[in-house]
Amino acid sequence: MVKFPEHAVTLPRPHAPFIPNFSTIDLIELRRVFDKNYYSSEPSAEVDTGPTILKMLFARGLSIDIEKAERLFHPQMLDTMINCGLLSQEKGEVKSLFQAQPYQGMILFSDYYQWEHSNDYVLPIGPAGHYLANLTIRRKVNSALDLGCGCGIQALLAARHSAHVIATDINPRALALTRLNSALNGFKNIETLEGRYFEPLQGKNFDLILANLPYVITPENRHVYSDVDQPGNLSIHKWLIEIPNHIQEGGFAHVLVNWVHRIDEAWWLPLRQTLTDSHSDTWLIYTASKQPGEYANIWIDQQTRNDPVKFEKTKRAWLKWYRSNHIPQIALGAIVLRRRTSTDNWFQAVQAKKNLEGSAGDQFQRLFAIHDFLTSPNPSNLLLDKIIISVDMEILPNKEEKRCLVSQLKGLRLEAEIQPVTSALLHRLDGHTSLRSILNILSSEPEFAGTDIRGAVEADIKTLLKLGMLEFL
């Protein structure tokens, strides 16, 4: 049985600040100041201007003279922010107790990292939140769920294209910050519920589920916002069994995951086994697998890193725990699920070797639609009469191996190798001519005359369709 180590005891932790409670009028005024000064967290060389003062307060967490603050906020507003607890005042200076991040036209408050050891710490938007936001399929839906909402970034983005959004979290401060950020950005269609995972939802189902749940597999279970709450990756597999049961038929779920797999097994196998009876079609995006030492280097917190002796001691304890619990490596990735009650659900797994570039939502809609087509009866006969176009794709020749590398420029930026004849065909895609007609033209050219090119080309075309590099008109 996997166990947490005995040394992982609960210690007293600092209390993060209380969440401010503003009136609607005050929030309108606060947002007006951010917008008027083109708030951005990017550094600036300008001195004592409105944008610079805002960045000092809400991006860098610095104290500023009250006189500077009064250039941005009229005295009554400044008093309100101090009295509500957004700012603190000491010796003629004010300082923000919360950071503010600009994101896609919105402003979101969260905690500064100094509070990361608090039990109710609310993480700012980081790489994981940004990645999940870019994976999400953006289509109009009636209902959406942000499972483990944190500061509310996924809920707010979903509120732009959902009639109603529910945001859940075990942390009351996270829910309070989500409500604050919803009001600050003018959303009235977001509801917050406190509780673990699906407990507060009373059997509700959703058209869209977004889950940035604690997925970090560590022995300490110290950070409620990141560390799994059951030993090993038991809780991760538990979510993956439960989440499909809350998706409306035809709806989607997007989930960030880390999972354990053996050295001698395919990285995708544990998750495929878990999702076998899920009545959902699956796209698994795999980034990489990390050895325990590499994984520990990623997730041991910064405060521990700053003390070399403590870091080495902590890392040894983590590695001992990984060994004793038979955790040889941990995979990193994400899953997109579509609910489809069927006996022939499909599972597709790919490795994304490059960083995500921009939104992949439209790409995923193509991936699901094309995979449905390719798993339908007699897809090859139907495929030949289709008009196909390329999508954000470049072809790089490889003369030594007589193969060509095809790479996506946006979204998941997946890669595939194709034969030269397929490359020649791709250069002839004009948006008007069917695949069958282009194949006939190629067959008559001297370079390919007398060879049966259909089989090779068709296999490559199916691969590129599956990866979203081609689509039908």
Nearest to 106, CA basis, from 7, 43, 27: 27
Angle at 182 between CA 106 and CA 130, to 5 degrees: 50
Encode burial over 441-452: b for 16+ CB neighbours within 10 A, e otherwise.
ebbeeeebeeee
| 205 contacts: CB under 8 Å, gap ≥ 6 | 143, 245, 246, 247, 248, 251
DSSP character at residue 411: B
* Number of neighbours of residue 266 by Cβ within 10 angstroms: 10
User: For residue 299, what are its two tokens?
Assistant: 């997730």
Confidence at residue 81, expressed as pLDDT on a 0 to 100 scale: 94
- Residue positions counted in the chain: 473
Per-residue pLDDT of the chain (473 residues; tens, 9 = 90+): 344 344 443 444 567 899 999 999 999 999 999 999 888 766 555 567 888 889 999 999 999 999 889 888 998 999 999 999 999 999 899 999 999 999 999 999 999 988 888 889 999 999 999 999 999 999 999 999 999 999 999 999 999 999 999 999 999 999 999 999 999 999 999 999 999 888 999 889 999 999 998 888 888 766 555 555 555 677 788 889 999 999 999 999 999 999 999 999 999 999 999 999 999 999 999 999 999 999 999 988 888 888 999 999 999 999 998 998 899 999 999 999 999 998 889 999 999 988 888 999 999 999 999 989 888 887 877 888 899 999 988 988 766 667 889 999 999 999 999 988 888 899 999 999 999 999 888 888 887 766 778 888 888 999 999 998 999 88
> Which of 364, 412, 358 has its CA nearest to residue 104?
358
Residue 223's pLDDT is 57
Closest residue by Cα to residue 388 from 283, 270, 265, 471: 471
Half-sphere exposure of 60 (CA within 13 A, CB side): 12
Q: Which two tokens stand for residue 39?
A: 């708030």
**How many Å apart are CA 74 and CA 416, to the nearest integer?**
59
Please report the DSSP string for 141-195 in residue order. Answer: EEEEEEES-TTSHHHHHHHTTEEEEEEEES-HHHHHHHHHHHHHTT--SEEEEES
Q: How many helices and strands, by DSSP H and E, does the chain display? A: 17, 18
CB 363 within 8 A of CB 352: no
Question: Side by side, which strands form the sheet with 190-194?
Answer: 190-194, 162-169, 141-147, 206-211, 247-260, 330-339, 280-290, 347-351
Instruction: Give the global pTM.
Output: 0.90
Rounded-to-integer distance, Cα 363 and Cα 386, Å: 19
CB 440 within 8 A of CB 429: no
Structure-block tokens of residue 134: 């870019």
142, 278, 351, 443 from 336: Cα distances, Å: 19, 13, 14, 40
Contacting residues for 455 by C-beta, under 8 A, at least 6 apart? none
363's enclosing H/E stretch is helix 361-374
